Structure 1
Amino acid sequence: MKNMFKMKKTLLTLMLCFLSFGWTWAQYAKSVSILGDSYSTFQGYVQPEANAIWYFDPVNTSSTDVASVRQTWWHQFIKNNSYRLCMNNSYSGSTICNSGYKRDKPEFADYSDRSFVTRMNNLGCPDIIFIFGATNDAWAGSPIGEYKYDGWTKKDLFSFRPAMANMLAFMTNRYPNVEIYFILNSDLQEEINESVKTICKHYQVPCIVLKGIDKANGHPTIKGMNQICQQVQSFISNK
């Protein structure tokens, strides 16, 4: 009888240990935040909810074949690694700097309501951050500006290079002990590519350079989303 009691007590202790381990693992699973543009949007999965999106539910088949959030690059990456989504602050059409599309007007639109340098402070408390931008700066022909690594003025943030530097300087300070990666789209102008690589190197932020991404209407298809996920995973696994 005494032995039976000891056995039950041992089993109960083991069960509690396993439950505790499972709770601890779930509690400390790494979380991911995304600071992005249209490539990282999906209806119902961006914050703030008012952010403009490209990928809708139900799918807009005239624009894309991506019909489920599970097909997005970031959802695949998070699921494959047993991570958690902390926050996806992506905004379709957004630029890193404050200069947006002219839209047949002589001046660049003021995108300070949606730019990366405006949204970079709103990413929660993640373990990993992906910055996926510069595409709209390239497409809008935003002013490239000069390399500048301190003393930024409000005017500076309307040009790409100083805004990019300001963003990485802020984020590496704002999110200490967080893994920060910049994802650079394929098929952008060399001036943008070299600017991103140079500024990332200055702040020691790893730059994941995408290659050969399949697109429709300039945006990743299901195949393209798979390629992005695979290339991001490969980079991180081999760093």
Structure 2
Amino acid sequence: MKHKCFVLLASFLFACLGSVFAQQKISILGDSYSTFHGYVQPAGNLCWYGVPGEKKENDVTKVEQTWWYCLADSVSYVLERNNAYSGSTICNTGYEKADYSDRSFITRMTDLGKPDIILVFGGTNDSWAGVPIGDFKYADWTEGELYDFRPAFCYLMDYLVTHYPDARIYNITNTELSEEVTSSMAEVCRHYGVTNIVLRDVDKQWGHPSVKGMASICSQVREALSAQ
């Protein structure tokens, strides 16, 4: 009888430990900061890091140095999908007012697999490109409004919380963005109850995180994830 009780107790403890240490699946919706050649899905997405034959003034040369690889390489997380696209904007407006609807975040948000955690890391190109800001709008978006940052970001957050109801969603706000983009993301995240990770002290080379900057991003994101 004692042996049977011990077996049942041991089984229960192993089950508990298994649930504690079960790897959670993370999907990333990002821009150049989250790219590395050969490690994005779909494979045709443009990359900034690790492109063969391209030399950049940045010391990140290995995928293991990227913030997301560092994060996913921990005990708790496994990468489900890295849908990052270099130069992409959240809204459908790109640089020089070009139509970026083929690569925007709101176009790619449907292709994230089945994650437990979604990390959205964008807004940098919207800020750099000076896209139209527009107005906050939380429903009934028109096609034209999705070429403006605020309604597009609202649309993005609304889609994620609706279509990935079991996932924990985090937005990552880069340093050195325009005040309008930074404050708008904070406001929309509050509206949807999405955790907004506001980065600080990210070292950059040629406008992109260096090895030191990548480590800082990884550390800050991991801290935010472990807090919940």
- By the TM > 0.5 criterion, same fold? yes
Distance apart, 1:68 and its partner CA? 1.0
SS state at 2:119 partner: strand
Distance apart, 1:236 and its partner CA? 2.4
SS state at 1:233 partner: helix
Q: In 2 relative to 1, CA 68–116 (structure 1 residues): closer, same or farther, beyond 3 Å?
A: same
**8 Å contact from structure 2 (residues 50, 63) kept in 1:** no
Distance apart, 1:58 and its partner CA? 5.2
Gaps of 5+ in 2: none
Q: In 2 relative to 1, CA 59–181 (structure 1 residues): closer, same or farther, beyond 3 Å?
A: farther
Q: How far, CA to CA, are the matches of 1:199 and 1:60 in structure 2?
A: 37
Is 2:42 the counterpart of 1:48? Answer: yes
The aligned residue for residue 201 of structure 1 is: 190
The aligned residue for residue 4 of structure 1 is: none
Q: How does 1:1-239 map to 2 (within 5 A)?
A: 28-56=22-50, 60-102=54-96, 108-239=97-228
Distance apart, 1:89 and its partner CA? 0.2
Structure of larger gyration radius? 1
**8 Å contact from structure 1 (residues 59, 66) kept in 2:** no
Backbone CA RMSD of aligned residues: 2.6
Q: How far, CA to CA, are the matches of 1:82 and 1:70 in structure 2?
A: 17
Q: How far, CA to CA, are the matches of 2:87 and 2:55 in structure 1?
A: 19
Distance apart, 1:83 and its partner CA? 1.5
SS state at 1:33 partner: strand
Q: How far, CA to CA, are the matches of 2:51 and 2:188 in structure 1?
A: 36
Letter in 1 for 2:145: D
**8 Å contact from structure 1 (residues 41, 91) kept in 2:** yes
Q: Deviations over 1:88-128 (max 9, x none)?
A: 000000000000001xxxxx100000000000000000101
Normalization by structure 1: what TM-score?
0.86
**8 Å contact from structure 2 (residues 202, 217) kept in 1:** yes
**8 Å contact from structure 1 (residues 181, 205) kept in 2:** yes
Q: How far, CA to CA, are the matches of 2:118 and 2:226 in structure 1?
A: 16
Normalization by structure 2: what TM-score?
0.90
**8 Å contact from structure 2 (residues 23, 75) kept in 1:** no
Q: How far, CA to CA, are the matches of 1:58 and 1:100 in structure 2?
A: 25
Q: How far, CA to CA, are the matches of 1:162 and 1:223 in structure 2?
A: 34
Tell which deviates more after alignment, 109-118 or 75-84: 75-84
Letter in 1 for 2:211: I
Gaps of 5+ in 1: 1-9, 103-107
Paired residues in the alignment total 222
Q: How far, CA to CA, are the matches of 2:22 and 2:210 in structure 1?
A: 33
Q: How far, CA to CA, are the matches of 1:40 and 1:81 in structure 2?
A: 20
Q: How far, CA to CA, are the matches of 1:59 and 1:45 in structure 2?
A: 17
SS state at 1:99 partner: coil
Letter in 1 for 2:150: R
